[in-house]
Amino acid sequence: MFDSGSRYANLETTVVDVPGPDGEPRPVRFVKRRFIPPGGDGTTLVEHTVTQGDRLDVITARYLGDPLQFWRVADANNAMRPEELTEEAGTTLRIALPEM
């Protein structure tokens, strides 16, 4: 359902019957809710100090080699909104790999 590098790749899926346009039930498949893991989990690779104009995708590409893995940095820093991580220059970001 999701790319193997997605934050949703390993989540459990489920199917629920919902009424279709004709009133007959139709199955709808969805991914169960994802909870942000505790920020202290994982191995810290490096800490990055945010400078003016930094973008999370560029930071992630630099340290993890893939800009689409920005969610790993958000998880490591307990961020619900990834964009908040680069809003203020001087913020220190933890770049980490998850525990396996």
pLDDT band for 10, please (50, 70, 90 cuts).
confident
How large a percentage of the chain has pLDDT more than 90?
Answer: 59
pLDDT of residue 40: 65
Do the beta carbons of residue 76 and residue 36 sit within 8 Å? no
Strand 92-97 to 43-49 pairing: antiparallel
Question: At residue 3, does pLDDT exceed 70?
Answer: yes
Q: Mean pLDDT score of the chain, rounded to an integer?
A: 88
Q: How do residues 42-74 score in pLDDT, each as one tens digit?
A: 788 999 999 999 999 999 999 999 999 999 999
**CA 21 from centroid of its chain's CA atoms:** 34
Q: Which of 29, 28, 36, 26 is nearest to 12 (CA)?
A: 29
The full set of domain ranges for the chain reads 1-35, 43-97
- Cβ burial of 57 (10 Å; 0-12, 13-18, 19+) is middle
Q: How many CA atoms lie within 13 A of 58 on its CB side?
A: 7
pLDDT band for 35, please (50, 70, 90 cuts).
confident
Which of the listed CATH numbers 2.20.25, 3.10.350, 1.10.10, 3.60.90 matches domain 43-97?
3.10.350
